[in-house]
Structure 1
């Protein structure tokens, strides 16, 4: 398995706040890798940096061997790094179908956009039923599915998911995690930020625990599911 994404000794500051402190980890081709940790640990900061919204102060980030440490957000989208942010952030006054069409704004092939939208509806039949409904009228779980589907239409090579289970009922969390597994099965590499460690470890191949902006524990999902420190801190 080849390494696609690699962070090496990355430091990120918000003013004087040292958000990421020598952060290092990697994601292999086709893997689902989860970042676990409490609020304020640096998980969302990591995804925002990988989307080009913030710039690392030091260290390096490579994607498929190319340095992307200072890359612009639109260049990263063109490379296939697509971010589904915390809180869904779909366009509430637009229909489901219009939201999905926007996901392909950088895709020049209209037939390919239509194909991916059709595939999204096959993966998420509920969205097909709601395709003419305004985004703001959907349930939280349906809005999360729209956000993921919109990213899928963009053709992600690396899908960055930030807290997809937040605020959702357990049954809906299960559906969202099944969707993530389905997208992974098609060969998409996924970096998953998730506070629901139990759900994340069920779909992930490997995971890293981040505390105060640096990795403190890492291993396969199976290993971490049995790790006493992880059980006491995150699994109960």
Structure 2
């Protein structure tokens, strides 16, 4: 399996607070990899470092065989890596369709943008129904679908999703997870940041557990589901 993302010895600090302490992580081609951990463990910092939003003080990030550690956020998007941040961060005063169009900001071919928006409407029929509706009037689940759809318009080879199930009802969580599986089966690799370990490990191929900025457990999703330490801490006894 080809490696899409390779993180080696990554260290990130906010002032004197060490957020990542020598983190190692890989994502393979066509994989869903779950990154699990409690609040403050370093999950969001990891994807923010990959996407260029925060800078590391040590270590490296390699994507598709190219060192992107010091790359700008927009050049990372152009390389095919898209980050869907926690909290969705859609443009609340723009319509669904306008939000999706902005997802193609770095795409020079307008026909590709139109085609990808059509694919998003196929993936999320509710977005097609709401295409003229302002983003801020959507439900939480609909906003999450829009945030994922907007990312897909950029044509990512790797999509990084930060807490996509946060605040959603169980039925909506299942719909979002099903959409992630569909995206992955179409060829996009996924790095999934989740506190909902049960939902994440149900769809992931592999997973990592991080605590205080370090990987403490790693393995197949099935192995993590059976690991007593993971069960006790994240899945319930």
Q: TM-score, normalised by structure 1?
A: 0.99
State the Cα deviation string for residues 144-172 of structure 1 (Å, max 9, x = none). 00000000000011101000000000000
Indicate the residue corresponding to 2:170 in structure 1.
170
Residue number in structure 2 paired with 1:145: 145
- Residue of structure 2 in register with 1:16 after alignment: 16
Determine if the alignment matches structure 1 residue 193 to structure 2 residue 200.
no
Q: CA deviation at 1:220?
A: 0.5
Measured after TM superposition, the shift of residue 216 of structure 1 is 0.3
Aligned to 1:107: 107
- The Cα of 1:81 is off from its aligned counterpart by 0.8
Shift of 1:116: 0.3
* CA distances 1:28-57 after superposition (whole Å, capped 9, x unpaired): 011000100000000000011111011110
Which residue in 2 is equivalent to 1:123?
123
- Which ranges of structure 1 fall in alignment gaps of 5 or more residues? none
Q: Matches of 1:88 and 1:65 in 2, distance apart?
A: 29
Distance in structure 2 (CA, Å) of the matches to 1:89 and 1:58: 29
* 1:3 CA drift (Å): 1.1
Give every structure 1 segment of 4 or more consecutive aligned residues whose post-TM-superposition deviation is greater than 4 Å: none
1:207-228 Cα shifts (integer Å, max 9, x gaps): 0000000100000001111111
Q: CA RMSD in A?
A: 0.5
**Separation of aligned partners in 1, 2:19 and 2:47:** 12
Deviation, structure 1 residue 64:
1.4
Give the match for residue 84 of structure 2: 84
CA distance in 2 between partners of 1:39 and 1:55 (Å): 20
How far apart, in 2, do the equivalents of 1:60 and 1:90 lie? 30
- Give the distance between the partners of 1:96 and 1:203, measured in 2 at CA: 27
User: How many angstroms apart in 1 are the aligned matches of 2:93 and 2:10?
Assistant: 39
TM-score, length-normalised on structure 2? Answer: 0.99
CA separation in 1, counterparts of 2:64 and 2:96? 33
> How far 1:4 sits from its partner (Å)?
1.4
Aligned residue pairs, count: 236
Equivalent position of 1:69 in the other structure? 69
Counterpart of 1:48 in structure 2 is: 48
